[in-house]
Each structure stands twice: as C-alpha cells, then as structure tokens.
Amino acid sequence: DTSLAEVNSFSPSMPISPSSMINQYKFEDEPELRDLFITVDDPESHITAIETFITYRVVTKTSRGEFDSSEYEVRRRYQDFLWLKSKLEEAHPTLIIPPLPEKFIMKGMVERFSDEFIETRRKALHKFLNRIADHPTLTFNEDFKIFLTAQAWELSSHKKQGPGLLSRMGQTVRAVASSVRGGGVKNRPEMFTEMNDYVETFSQKINVLDKIAHRIYKEEREYFNEMKEYGPIHTLWSASEEDIADSLKGVASCIDKCCKATEKRMAGLSENLLPILHEYVLYSEILMGVLKRRDQIQGELDSRADALANKKTEKDLFSEEIGKLEDKVECANNALKADWDRWKQNMQCDMRSTFTNMAENNLHYYEE
C-alpha cells in the first residue's frame, strides 16, 4: 500500500507523460460481469403548500433472479436516499457505507435549487447508488432492493414499519457506549488502532486538499472574471488608436483564447477534482463513525466480561451472552477488515486517476 507520506514524494522513474501515467494505473483485477445497472436522472421540481423539493428518476436494469422484472423506473427524493443510507448503517454497522451529499450546499458555491446545484446533487446520488450496487454485501440488502423497485406509496408504507431487531440491538450498543468513551477500548486489536491513526491522518490531509482545491477554484474564477473585462477593453481601444489597432486586436484575441482555456480548466476542477475530494472528506467522517461502532460492540463485550468476573451467580447465563457477543465482535471485525482493504484500494485508484487527469488538464491549459 502507498503510505500517505509517499504520496508527497516524486519518483524520477515514473513516466513523464500524463497519458502514460494514467495508463500505468489500471485496475489489476478486471471487474466481474455486472448484473445491476442504475441511473439517476431527470430531476423534477415539486412545489406544495408546505414545501418545495426535487425528485429524481431512478432507472434499474438487472438480470438477477431475485428481482421480479428486468427493468424498474421509480422517482425518489433526497429524504428517500437518507432513509436507505440509515437502513444500510443499521443492518451493517461496520461496513463502510458510501456518503451522500449534504442536505444543504456548503461553501456558498451555488444556490439551493439552482440548475448547477441540482446537477451536482444528481451526480452524487447516481454515484451513491452505483457504489452500493458494486459492493459485494450491500448490493444484496433487502432495503436497497425495495428502494430500487417499490412505487412511492409502497416505499412510504415500508418506511412506516417499526425499527427491526438490528435497530434494537443498535440501541443496546449505544446504551453501553458511555463505558467506551472514557478511556477507549481495553482489548482493541492492534490493526484497528492502526486504522484509527490512518483515518485521523487521512482526514487531516484530505480536508487540507479540499480547502486548497476550493481556494484554487475561487482564484481561477476571479482571474477569469477579470480577463472577461480586459478583452472588450482592448477591442474598444483599438478603434481609437489606428497606429496600433492591429496589435490591440491581437491582444484582445489572445485574452479571449486565455478566457476560453481558463473556463475549460475551471470546468475540469468543478466536475472532476472538487467532487472527488469532497466525497472523501465525507468518507473520512464515515470511517470514524464505523470505527466508533466497532469499538462500541467491543465495549459491550468488555463490560459483560467484567460483570461476569464480579458476579458469583448467574455465570451460565452470562457465559452464554458473552459467547454471542464474541461472535458479534468477530463478525464486526471481519466485515470491517474486508471493507477496509476494498475501500483503500478504491480510494487510491480514485486519487491517482483524479490527480493524473488534473495534471493532464493543466498541461493542455498551459499549451493553449
């Protein structure tokens, strides 16, 4: 694995051409034939007396036997996506659930319900569902299937059902969480401590990258807006200076070309770099939550083991409960281990692809 420190170094043996760099980083394992394809498109505004909201069309095509049809088309609003995410977290507390875009736009980039905001959100929701579809465990979740196939009234009815067994188990975990928050987990395996340290460092670095990328975009936009004014000024100036008219028109034409190149570069930043960095900022928060939930499950086992050591009676009852908790901790650990390796590989591929693409875009920009 590439360490975070190594990311900052440059190897002279690496190919110089961005195209060959991109070609160097291909998935080693070609993905298996997919049997579930999901598209999120066609945003539609709904205005009622109480609220204004957007729904998106979710089209699913599949060859899986557990689906009654090969194609489904439903409309979903943001709250439905939130419900799905919470159900996945409830059913799989130590799996890394993909992030959803925040409910309200941050950093004042665009206004809510503007075309740009809606399109940015549509892309993020599309990626969210496809990341779940590509996940070896989450893709077979029953609530995910209901989300993709149920009509609006059926989904509404399903949402009204009470919390399931896993939710009640989750409440038990939260009840003992206070004992965990104190001095940390006593018997946490070393690998999860290392994961915790990695996530803390990753979170700091990805947040810095996110801030720098937004600053670069803001500076580019200011530069672009200034250039847009300078072009017409030189054209007007040429009309009153016959001797240097051709030179001034040449400068105006040059500024216009620079404007177009800068606009293309800004589009590359806003479409390719900013969304990926922000997605991994959200991932860092999700990873912290997953590690906390793993610790809470471990904490529940530790507290029961302490209670058993202090009790002289009811040993059989406690022993049976501890056996179940040990199984639960082992399942949680194994789920997180497998998902961690998968997430890390995806993250490294995404980062390599994003930054090599950005390098190539920058080269094209300076050439132009």
In a domain, 54, yes or no: yes
> What pLDDT does residue 244 have?
93
Residues 244 and 344 in one domain: yes
Residues 203 and 345 in one domain: yes
Share of the chain above pLDDT 90, in %: 57
Contacts of 189 (CB under 8 A, 6+ apart): 333
In a domain, 9, yes or no: no
What tokens does 324 get?
Answer: 């179940």
In a domain, 259, yes or no: yes
> What is the distance between the alpha carbons of residues 216 and 230, in angstroms, rounded to a whole number?
21
Q: In what order do the strands lie in the sheet with 71-77?
A: 36-47, 52-62, 71-77
CATH code at position 55:
3.30.1520.10
- 319-356 pLDDT, tens digit each: 777 888 888 889 999 999 999 999 999 999 999 999 99
Residues 262 and 116 in one domain: no
Q: What does the H/E/C string look like for 194-213? A: HHHHHHHHHHHHHHHHHHHH
> What is the distance between the alpha carbons of residues 40 and 147, in angstroms, rounded to a whole number?
13
Per mean pLDDT, which range of 60-69, 181-190, 292-301 is the poorest?
181-190
> What pLDDT does residue 116 have?
83
Backbone angles phi, psi at 54, to 5 degrees: -115, 135
Q: Is 63 exposed, middle or buried (0-12, 13-18, 19+ CB in 10 A)?
A: exposed
Residues 222 and 99 in one domain: no
Q: Does residue 168 register a pLDDT over 80?
A: no
Residues 99 and 245 in one domain: no
Residues 122 and 269 in one domain: no
Q: Does residue 318 register a pLDDT over 50?
A: yes
325, 205 Cβ separation under 8 angstroms: no
Residues 215 and 328 in one domain: yes
Q: Which carries the bigger pLDDT value, residue 67 or residue 112?
A: 67
> What pLDDT does residue 173 have?
46
Residues 128 and 207 in one domain: no
Residues 101 and 48 in one domain: yes
Mean pLDDT for the stretch of residues 226-249: 91
CATH code at position 291:
1.20.1270.60
In a domain, 74, yes or no: yes
> What pLDDT does residue 104 have?
58
In a domain, 25, yes or no: no
- 30-82 pLDDT, tens digit each: 445 788 999 999 998 888 888 888 999 999 999 988 899 999 999 999 999 99
> What is the distance between the alpha carbons of residues 233 and 308, in angstroms, rounded to a whole number?
83
> What is the distance between the alpha carbons of residues 253 and 270, in angstroms, rounded to a whole number?
26
> What pTM was computed for the model?
0.78
In a domain, 57, yes or no: yes
- 288 band by pLDDT with thresholds 50, 70 and 90: very high
Backbone angles phi, psi at 102, to 5 degrees: -65, 160
In a domain, 122, yes or no: yes
Which residues lie across from 56 on neighbouring strands?
76
In sign, the C-alpha dihedral spanning 122, 125, 129, 135 is positive
Q: Find the domain containing 230 and state its range.
A: 185-367
In sign, the C-alpha dihedral spanning 338, 344, 345, 350 is positive
> What pLDDT does residue 117 have?
85
Residues 198 and 307 in one domain: yes
Strands (E), 148-304: none
Domain count, the chain: 2
Residues 149 and 289 in one domain: no
Residues 137 and 250 in one domain: no
Q: Does residue 272 register a pLDDT over 60?
A: yes
Average model confidence (pLDDT) across the chain: 82
> What is the distance between the alpha carbons of residues 249 and 232, in angstroms, rounded to a whole number?
10
